[in-house]
Chain A
Amino acid sequence: MKILAVYSIKGGVGKTAAAVNLAYCAAQSGMKTLLWDFDPQAASTFYFRVKPKLNKSMKKAVKGKSDLDAEIKATDFDNLDILPADFSCRNMDLFLDSADKPKKAVRDMFKSISGDYDIAIADAPPGITLLSEGIMSAADVLAVPLIPTTLSLRTCEMLLNFMKDNKIKDVKTALFFSMADRRKKIHRDVMDGAEFEKAKLLENYVPYSADVEKMGLHREPVGAFSPKSKAAVSYGGIWREIVNIL
C-alpha cells in the first residue's frame, strides 16, 4: 500500500479539497483507495456524507490497540473507502507524545490497515506537530498545496528545511499551486518565477474555482458533480503527475 499525504504548514490552502479530489481520481483510475481523515474538524469525512466516528479511538490506535479496519466506511463511489475522523484526533499530539517512538507509532498505524488497499491518502491537519511529522515520515509522496503568494513560498521553504533538519528523506515532495488566480499579478509572478531545489513543483495547478467551493453544498468530489469543470480536470492532471512519482 502506497501512502500519499496531503499536507502544508499553513491552514486553509486547499489540502482537504485536494485530498478528497485526488482520492476520487485514484479510485476512478481503478486503485483500491482509502482516504484517511486525520483532521478533528472532519472536513473530508463531511464531503463524503459520512458521520464522524463515534468511538474516540485514536488513543488506542496510537498504541496499536484499536481495530482501525472496523472503522472504515465505504463511500458512494467504487473503490473508495474512508477512515473518518473523530474528535479525539485533536489530542493526537498528546497521545503521540506519550508513545516511545511517535513517528514509528504513526507508521505502524498505517501498517495495521489490512493489505486490501493500493493507496492510502491522508488528509493531515495543518501545523508542525508530532502527527504531521509522523505522517511525513510514513508517506511515499507528500503533496503540498501552495497559494501563489510570497508568504506561502517562505512557509514552504520552512517546511522543506524542517524535513531536512529532521532527516525526513524517504518521501518525495510534490508541490502544486492551489487556489491560483492568474488574473492576479502577484499569482502570475509567483507561479512563473517559482523554483525549488529540494522538491518537485508539479506542472498542473488547482485554479481558484467556484466549483471547489460548491463541494460543501453537493457533499461530493468535484469530479462527481462537475466532471468537465476546470477544477476537476486540474485535479486529474495533478493525480497523473503524482502517480508517476509514487
Chain B
Amino acid sequence: MKKRIFALKNFSLNALEAFAGFTLRQNITGVMKKVELPDELFPLRDRVECLLRKDSFSLINEDGKTVCRLNLTEIEVCSAGSVFNFSFAELIPLKGYFGEFCIVQAAVEDQGGKETKKLPVIYSVRKAGFRSDAGKGTVEADKTPDAPAADVIRNILIRLINIAEAKEHGVLEDTDPEFLHDFRVALRRSRSAFSMFKGAFPPEEHEYFRQKLSHLFARTSLARDLDVYIKIMGQYRAVLPDSMQDDLEPVEKYLTAMKKKEHEKIVGLINSEEYSLFKNEWRNFLGRAVYGEKGMQRVRDAASEVIKNAYAKIVKDGRKLDNSSPASDIHKVRIGCKKLRYALEFFRPIFPSKQADAVTKKLKTLQDSLGAHQDYEVQREKLLRYTEEAAKGMKDKVNLSLASGYLARYLDELKCSERERCLEMIDSFISDKVRAQIKEMIK
C-alpha cells in the first residue's frame, strides 16, 4: 500500500474529523520555507520561487491508536509580485488499517480533494501557469505572430540549446537512456527549426551551423541505436521459443560492450573543447540580431509557408506510394511528417488551436504507425548485422543464427502488417479533409 496525495480546495480539518470519525492529533507544526525547484523545473528558477510548509498529523481511533497519518502541505508559488496558493493532503496508510485509510480518503474526497500523482511542488508550479521547456522537451514560440521570423526562431533555438545542456549531466551519468534521447531530440529540433527557415539567416552562417548541428547529432546516433536495441533484446527473448531463450546472449553481450565504448566517446565529446566552443559560437550567433533576406518576414507568414511546404512534400511523396513501394520510400514520408510535426509544435500558439490540434492529432497517429513500420524494418536489418558481428570468432554459431533467423521472420511479418496500416493512414492524411484543415489554419 502506498501513500496518496490529494490537491485540496477550502479544506477543513474539522470536517475531516467529523466525516471520518477519527480524532486528529498534530505531531509536527511546520514553517514556511523556500524550497529548491526539482530538476524538471530547473529552468524556471530565475522566474519562480516556491515556499512550502508541512504539518503532520495522526488520525486516532477510540483506543488512541493511530490508524492513518496525514501531512498537510501548503505551497506558495511566487513570481514577479504575484502569489499563488495551493494545499495538499498526503495520506500515509498503516499496515493492517486499510479500512480506516479508505474512510479517511473518502473524507478528503468528500471535501473535493483530487488525487494527483505529481509532486505537490510540480503540481503547484504548473497550475500557477508556469511551464518549463526542459520538462516537456518541446519549445513553443511566444504568441507574437507579427514579430520578425529570425527573432522568433532565435529565441526557440536558444531555449533548445538550454534544454540540451540541461540533459548533459544525465547523458554523462547514463543512468537512464532517456537523457541521451532528450539531448538528441533537442538537437534534432534545433536542426529542424534552423533548416526550415533557411532564408531567415545569412547563408554562410546558416550553412556553417547547420552542418555543425547535423554533425553533432550524427555523433550520438550509434549510442542511441544501441540503447534502443539493448532494450529490444529483452522483448525478443519473450518472442523466442523456450528452447532458444538464451541463444541471442552473444548479441546482447556484444551490444553492451559496444554501448560502453560509444558512451565513452560521448563523454569525450561532451567534455571536449570542440563542443563547448561550438556552444559558445552558437549562443553568440543566436544573440546577434542578424537577418537573412527573409529574416524580417512576419513569423506567422514564414511559419505558414513552412507548414504549407512541409505538407505539400508529404502529399507528393505519399501519392507515389503503392503496395510494392520499398521501405525507403515510406521512410521519406516519415521524414516529411517529422518536419511538419516540429513546425506545428513550434508555432502552435500562433495559429488557431482548433485546427492545429486536429491536424497534430492525426499526424501523431500516422507518425506512430510510420515509426513502427520503420522500426521493424531497421530492427530486422540491424539484428542480422549485429548477429554477424557478434558471431565473429564464435565456434558454434548454429544456435545463434537459428534464433536470429527466427526473429527476422517474425519482424518481417510485423512489418508487413504494419505496412498496410501505414499506407491507409498516409492516404487519409493526404486527403482533401486534412488539406482543408491546414488551409483553414494558416489562412
CA distance A48 to B96 in the complex (A): 13
Expressed in whole angstroms, the Cα–Cα distance for A51 and B96 within the complex equals: 11
Stretch in A72-80, A96-104, A126-134, A231-239 touching the partner: A72-80
Asked if B64 contacts A73 (CB within 8 A), the reply is no
Which residues of A35-73 are within 8 A (CB) of B? 48-51, 71-73
Pick the residue among A51, A71, A72 that contacts B63 (CB under 8 A).
A51
Interface contact A72-B65, CB-CB below 8 Å: no
**Do the beta carbons of A74 and B97 come within 8 Å of each other?**
yes
18 contacts across the A-B interface (CB closer than 8 A): A48-B65, A49-B63, A49-B64, A49-B65, A50-B63, A50-B65, A51-B63, A72-B95, A72-B96, A73-B94, A73-B96, A73-B97, A74-B94, A74-B97, A76-B65, A81-B95, A81-B96, A219-B64
Closest to A70 in B: B96
Chain B residues in the interface with A (C-beta under 8 A): 58, 63-66, 94-97
How many A-B contacts if CB must be within 8 Å? 25
User: What are the residues of chain A within 8 A of B95 when measuring CB–CB?
Assistant: 72-74, 81
Task: State how many angstroms separate the Cβ of B35 from the closest Cβ of chain A.
Answer: 24
A interface residues (Cβ-Cβ under 8 A, vs B): 48-51, 71-74, 76, 81, 219
Which of B58, B65, B66 has the most A CB atoms < 10 Å from its CB?
A: B65
Q: Is the CB of B58 within 8 A of A76?
A: yes
The distance in angstroms between the C-alpha atoms of A147 and B131, with both chains bound, is 70
Smallest CB–CB gap between A44 and chain B, Å? 14
Cβ–Cβ < 8 Å partners of A219 in chain B: 63-64
Closest A residue by C-beta to B65: A49
CB-CB under 8 A from A49, the residues of chain B are 63-65
Expressed in whole angstroms, the Cα–Cα distance for A51 and B100 within the complex equals 14
In the complex, what distance in Å separates the CA atom of A76 from the CA atom of B96? 12
Q: Which of A51, A71, A76, A81 contacts B66 (CB 8 A)?
A: A76
Taken together as a complex, chains A and B put the C-alpha atoms of A104 and B142 apart, in Å, by 74
Other A-B contacts than A49-B63, A76-B65, 4 sampled, CB-CB below 8 A, are: A50-B63, A51-B63, A76-B58, A81-B95
Q: How far is the CB of B68 from chain A (nearest CB, A)?
A: 10
Shortest beta-carbon distance from B24 to chain A in Å: 14
> Nearest Cβ in chain B — how far from A74, in angstroms?
4
Interface centre among B58, B95, B96 (most CB of A within 10 A): B96
Partner of A71, one of B65, B94, B96: B96
Q: Given the complex of chains A and B, what is the CA–CA distance between A73 and B65 in angstroms? A: 11
Expressed in whole angstroms, the Cα–Cα distance for A109 and B372 within the complex equals: 52
Which residues of the partner chain B approach A50 to less than 8 Å between Cβ atoms?
Answer: 63, 65
B residues near A48, Cβ cutoff 8 Å: 65
* In the complex, chain B residues whose CB is within 8 Å of the CB of A72: 95-96
Residues in chain A near residue B65, CB distance under 8 A: 48-50, 76
Q: Which 7 A-B pairs have the closest CB atoms?
A: A73-B96, A49-B65, A74-B94, A74-B95, A76-B66, A49-B63, A49-B64
| Residues of chain B within 8 A of A81, CB atoms compared | 95-96
Closest A residue to B61 using CB positions: A49
Chain A min CB distance to B67 (Å): 9
- Given the complex, which residues of B lie within 8 Å of A74, measured CB to CB? 94-97
Contacts of B96 in A (CB 8 A): 71-74, 81
Give bound CA distance, A50 to B60, whole Å: 12
Complex Cα spacing A219 to B62, Å: 13
Write out the residue numbers on chain A whose beta carbons fall within 8 Å of the beta carbon of B97: 73-74
Which residues of the partner chain A approach B63 to less than 8 Å between Cβ atoms?
49-51, 219
**Chain B contacts for A73, CB-based, 8 A:** 94-97
Question: In angstroms, how far is the closest chain A Cβ from the Cβ of B291?
Answer: 65
Q: In whole angstroms, what is the CA distance A76 to B63 when docked?
A: 12
Q: Which chain A residue shows the least CB distance to B94?
A: A74
Residue of A nearest to B63 (CB): A49
